[in-house]
Structure 1
Amino acid sequence: MAVEWRPVRQSRTHELVLESIEERVLAGELKAGDRLPPERELAPVLGVSRSALREALRVLETIGVLVAQAGRGPDAGARIVRNPDDALGRLLRLHFALGSYCLEDVLEARVTLERSSFQAAAERAAAGADESAAGPDEVAAGPDGAAAGLDEAAELVARMGEPDVGVPEFNDLDTRFHVQIARSSGNALTSTLTSAVRESVRPLILRALEAAEDWPATAAALNAEHAELLRLVRAGDGPRAADLVEQHIRGLHGTLVEEGPGA
């Protein structure tokens, strides 16, 4: 069904354009994958300048609901997407740097989110194992992608355990491991929030890891915990996985609270 576009008021024009597009998303008239009309068509229909329209589209790109590609052809123009992870992580990182949230609150949020995600990932792993043992004629297929997600987490743990891994790469792999477990929990919002919170403290964690007196020993100790966390999740032991991930976060990462953001 074609979307009916109407002119918007001229005051704070780009904000009104945002409201117009938001209304159509909320009404279900615009969905992920839909393309907006070209600027030369959409601007006059809305009754705004192309510069005001571009400003609104840039805001939508920033918050991760739209991607715009320049040029001509079928892939050109603005398209509605679902990509909240990077956008939310960027916004939270900036707000953390500006002092909107204190470090203690960020770390406590990590504990809450990751206890939940590790517990849920373990429960899904256990459910998948039970279904597999029962056989295809007795039950439906297990949680989609759960086992594959844990296999990917295992690859990350293996790479973190290699002797040539440096601090920046380890920090990146560490982030991806925690986010991957959150994805394996089956809760997309928990995954996005986990990614955003972990990303917000990435620079501080990187500095803490770089300051370690014995990096190989530090990396080995942290990754031993990663390996045990993954084992517990695969074994379906949610309570112990939740306890260990809290201990893991409050360990080396907890020292950031004592040192503070300026350390």
Structure 2
Amino acid sequence: MAETPKAWRIVLDRIEADLFSGRLGPGDRLPGERELASTMSVGRSSVREALRVLEVMGVVRTAVGSGPSSGAMIVSTPAGGLGSLLRLQTAAQAFEFSDIVATRLVLEGAVVRELAGRDEPDLSAAQALLDAMSTQDLTREEFLVLDQNFHHALAEASGNAVIATVMAGLRSAIEAYVTAGAATIADWETTAARLRAEHAGVLDAIRNSVPDEAARLVNDHITGYYAQMRDEA
């Protein structure tokens, strides 16, 4: 005998079906709890549980109250939900740290290759972040935020929203590790200067339309930093 799905799962499956069919999309507001419960013949507690799951996944944003911004709304920026999932899976040791790094290498290599193959890639956001990384008296944490945003800016410049979202989620999953590792590096000023130079090298390779060189440089940049953290831990 087939197992009867839990009531909250019925709500989840129905919303998923509406998203796939186009009946729901980014910016659309879901009906209220009472209406959803009545339509699907489930309790309001099951509706609330389904909405909590969707909010954690980054599919909906909920707000209490009775105004125009209240209730649950479909959102189109799932990076936060993906980051939470990857962080939890990494903490639970479902994903090896080395596998996350390897995935970053594959994705970022593909990103810079694609950008280097364009006639005029838009690198303005990445360049602005690189310039900001030269600001005097940046803390290590501030520098790492700019570093993270630099890599994400390249992904966004590629125009591939899936790659940009996955990359943001991967970096979020290992953020605590990267921050803790940076604290162990003895000569941070020298390291920061090297990282800035490596970022500049990647941008130059992209602008000069040298895909293989851009991919090699971003690979060396990522693996070199993680190797340094490991050696100085």
What TM-score does the superposition give when structure 1 sets the normalisation length?
Answer: 0.82
Which segments of structure 1 move beyond 6 Å, counting only runs of 4 or more? none
Give 2:62's aligned residue.
68
Which of 49, 54, 66 is the equivalent residue of 1:55? 49
Conserved 8 A contact 1:121-1:186: no
Indicate whether 1:185 and 2:158 are aligned: yes
Q: Look up the equivalent residue of 1:97 and give its one-letter code.
A: A
> Following the alignment from structure 1 to structure 2, what is the Cα–Cα distance between the partners of residues 195 and 64?
13
Shift in alpha-carbon separation, 1:48–1:38, aligned structure 2, 3 A: same
1:174 maps onto 2:168 in alignment:
no
Q: CA deviation at 1:177?
A: 0.6
1:197 aligns with 2:170: yes
Matched, 1:233 2:227: no
Instruction: Find the structure with the greater CA-based Rg.
Output: 1
What is the percent sequence identity of the aligned residues?
39
Q: CA contact under 8 A between 1:107 and 1:254: conserved in structure 2? A: no
One-letter amino acid matched to 1:248 = H
Q: CA deviation at 1:11?
A: 5.2
For residues 162-219 of structure 1, what are the alpha-carbon distances to aligned partners after superposition, in whole Å with 9 as ceiling and x for unaligned?
A: 2211111111111111111011112111111111112222111112211111111111
Between the two proteins, the alignment pairs up a number of residues equal to: 231
The whole-number CA distance in structure 1 between the counterparts of 2:88 and 2:132 is 30
The one of 79, 83, 86 aligned to 2:77: 83
The residue aligned with 1:210 is 183
Q: Is residue 58–residue 81 contact of structure 2 (8 Å, CA) maintained in 1?
A: yes
CA contact (8 A) 2:30 2:71 kept: yes
Change (3 A) 1:112 1:251: same
Which of 22, 25, 48 is the aligned partner of 1:31? 25
185-194 or 243-252, which deviates more: 185-194
Query: CA–CA distance in 1 between the matches of 2:106 and 2:5?
Result: 43
1:237 CA displacement: 2.1
- Whether 1:160 and 2:154 are equivalent positions in the alignment is no
| Distance in structure 2 (CA, Å) of the matches to 1:201 and 1:74 | 37
TM-score of the aligned structures, taking structure 2 as reference length: 0.92
Matched position secondary structure for 1:253: helix
The letter of the residue matching 1:33 is G
* 2:105–2:219 Cα contact (<8 Å) kept: yes
Gap change, CA 1:236 and 1:34, over 3 Å in 2 = same
Render the CA deviation track for 1:89-138: whole Å, top value 9, x for unaligned. 111111111111112111111111110011112223x2x3xxxxxxxxxx
Answer whether contact 2:185 2:229 (CA < 8 A) is retained: no
Q: 1:16 aligns with which of 10, 34, 53?
A: 10
Per-residue deviation, 1:255? 4.2
RMSD: 1.9
Mapped to 2, the partners of 1:193 and 1:236 lie a distance apart of 25
Is contact 2:182-2:229 (8 Å) kept? no
Contact 2:184–2:229 (Cα < 8 Å) also in 1? no
Amino acid at match of 2:25: K
Residues 171 and 202 of structure 1 are in contact (CA less than 8 Å); yes or no, is this contact kept in structure 2? Answer: no
Aligned-partner residue type, residue 49 of structure 2: E
Residue 175 of structure 1 contacts residue 199 of structure 1 at CA under 8 Å; is this kept in 2?
Answer: no
Q: Which runs of 5+ in 2 are unaligned?
A: none
- Taking a change above 3 Å as real, the CA distance of residues 257 and 23 of structure 1, as seen in their structure-2 partners, is farther
Match of 2:115 in 1: 121
Corresponding residue to 1:248 among 198, 221, 232: 221
Q: What is the aligned partner in structure 1 of residue 102 from structure 2?
A: 108
Is the 1:159–1:165 Cα contact (8 Å) retained in structure 2? no
Supply the distance in 2 between the matched residues of 1:211 and 1:256 (Cα, whole angstroms): 7
